[in-house]
Amino acid sequence: MKLLNLVSSILLIAFVLFSCSPVKEVQDNTLVRKLDSLMNNNADFSGVILVATGGTIRYHKAFGYQDYERKLPLDTANIFELASVTKQFTAMVIMMLKEAGKLDYDDSLSSYIPDLPYKGITIRNLLTHTSGLPDYQAIMDQYWDKSKIASNADNIEYLIKYHPAPIFRPGEKYNYSNTGYMLLATVAEKASGKDFIDLSRDWIFNPLQMSSTDIRTRDEKKSLNNFARGYIYVEDKHRYVAADSFPEFNYTIWLGNRKGPGRISSTSSDLLKWDRALYTNQLVNQATLQGAFAPMKLNSDSLSNYGFGWEIIPVSDNGKIVFHTGDNPGYKTAIMRYIDSDKTIIVLSNNASDKIGSIVSFIQKYLEVRI
């Protein structure tokens, strides 16, 4: 018995040491040369690029400024708004609740939010953007007192009060819906009895040691000395201006307590930890996770290539590929995962660079000829 306990202790220590070990970094010199050359020709890009194969970092560099006013250079450890890349974390919380027996994907939304005037919608519809729900932000923009900060409860109250018409019947088609993911966070709270932010921290961020990742308030982000502020280029001023200084982007402030569709801020390194966890059973088992990477069958029996928080490239010679992008005032983000060949691309920009798509495509072409 003592020997068995000793062996168990050794195994436990080994597991902890392995799980806490730093991510390996071995530069791909050809990729470094090619990508550096590309970035030299795209000097207006501000952000971080990370490329990994098999969990080993092959390229990880920062470009541009964390703060344009002070000319403070970006670092690979800077924290960025993820925008809609947040949705895959919201979907994971739902999957974890499913495994815990707290809900089912085909549960009716009405079971959790009975007063909401939209019937026939399931949790699966919310996850896959097939609910037909109207845009909550449009209703809030029209009626909300913008001197106050709105929460999910406020958003739901206004959807009930003003009852904008649905766009289509549930399951009829795909239509990207921030409303759906806002409601998923509330469903998670109803099913678990816990705050969604606490769920995200306790179930995902902390177990994965994503120490720079959180759902933060505006003041919390301002207090961080490594937060990358978002910027937008203004032609007539010939310079970058802080995105939160534009009145038309104030919705990021007065919708500042929303949960589910956005609001996670993180680093490229933490996102790689997230990527690695998705190859394990640490959060959910692999059978459950495959549901996140499967297309949604619509009422017409045709398929929509959006799973649970992930867009799916349906046909590829390189195995299954999933990805997601994010777009907030001053920010553009992207994560792409070659699941079968274990290759990862992460690009985070804090000057809303329109070059992010071409950068990802360039890296894709390089990786795919080496798969």
For helices 178-192 and 87-99, the axis angle rounded to 10 degrees is 30
Specify whether 84 is catalytic. Answer: yes
In whole angstroms, what is the distance from residue 306 CA to residue 36 CA?
33
Active-site position among 84, 265, 266, 268: 84
168-173's contacts with Cβ under 8 Å and 24+ in sequence apart are 168/132, 169/120, 169/132, 169/299, 170/120, 170/121, 170/122, 170/125, 170/130, 170/131, 170/132, 171/125, 171/130, 171/298, 171/299, 172/130, 172/132, 172/298, 172/299, 172/300, 173/130, 173/132, 173/298, 173/304
Provide the angle, in degrees to the nearest 10, between the axes of the packed helices 136-143 and 152-162.
80
CB neighbourhood size of 67 (10 A) = 15
Residues labelled as active-site residues = 84
